[in-house]
Amino acid sequence: MPNERPLRADAARNRAKILEAANRQIIAFGPEVPMESIAEDAGVAVGTLYRHFPTKADLVRAIVDSHLEEMAAEAEAAADRIGGGTSAVAEFITFWHMIMESAASNKAVKAAARELGASVDETEHLRRGQVAMERLIEAGKAEGGLRPDLAVEDCFIFFATVPLDEPVAVRERWFTLVIDGFRSGALREA
């Protein structure tokens, strides 16, 4: 029963401004950014933030969730590409590499990545991404490029802990080792 009476014009306008500002601020400074900063960026008073979002956590969740959704969409896109020119393993690797780099330059994605590990509230987005990732992984195993026991959770756990504050070179090295771990055994057992 979505009996939400429509927002007043100015309220709708402000809500949009708030979401945009929060997105900008959280991307740049992470969830720890003060509410005052978001309010200022949005050109609105703090009180207004609280009218639209009862608590800071709610606002942050809205933003982080939107990034989670984007990630899920990208995962689905990658899965849909299976059977095209590139191998599933290649798609898998490209996808996760992209997520890693996003998280490194976008504090909102970074926060979203953490949620992967602690899948607190089983968001719809998480589930969507999970399904897509399963498709990718199964295809990768079929190709013989991923270890037979690799699970979606493995990927989530790993990407919740990417060394984001280290220089690129370190991240790349980390990525190589992790991917090798995801592959290893693909040959032995199979």
Q: Which residues contact DNA (rule: CB under 7 A)?
A: 5, 7-11, 13-14, 32, 34-36, 44-48, 50-52, 54-57
**Binding-site partner at residue 182 among a second copy, DNA, none, CB < 5 to 8 Å by type:** a second copy
d(CA 124, CA 130): 10
Which CB, 53 or 158, lies closer to a second copy?
Answer: 158
Q: Which is nearer to DNA, 3 or 190 (CB)?
A: 3
Q: Which amino acid is at 187?
A: L
Q: With binding defined as CB under 8 A, does residue 121 bind a second copy?
A: no
Q: How does 40-73 read in b/e, with b if 16+ C-beta sit within 10 Å? A: ebbebeeebbeebbeebeebbbbbbbebbbbbbe
According to the binding rule CB under 8 A, does residue 185 interact with a second copy? yes
Binding residue (CB under 8 A) for a second copy from 162, 168, 189, 190: 162
189 in Cβ contact with 152 (< 8 Å): no
Q: Which is nearer to DNA, 36 or 166 (CB)?
A: 36
54: partner contacted, choices DNA, a second copy, none (Cβ within 5-8 A by kind): DNA
- Cβ at position 161, least distance to a second copy in Å: 4
For residue 141, count other CB atoms closer than 10 A to its CB.
Answer: 18
Tokens of 110: 């970074």
> What is the SS3 assignment for 127?
helix
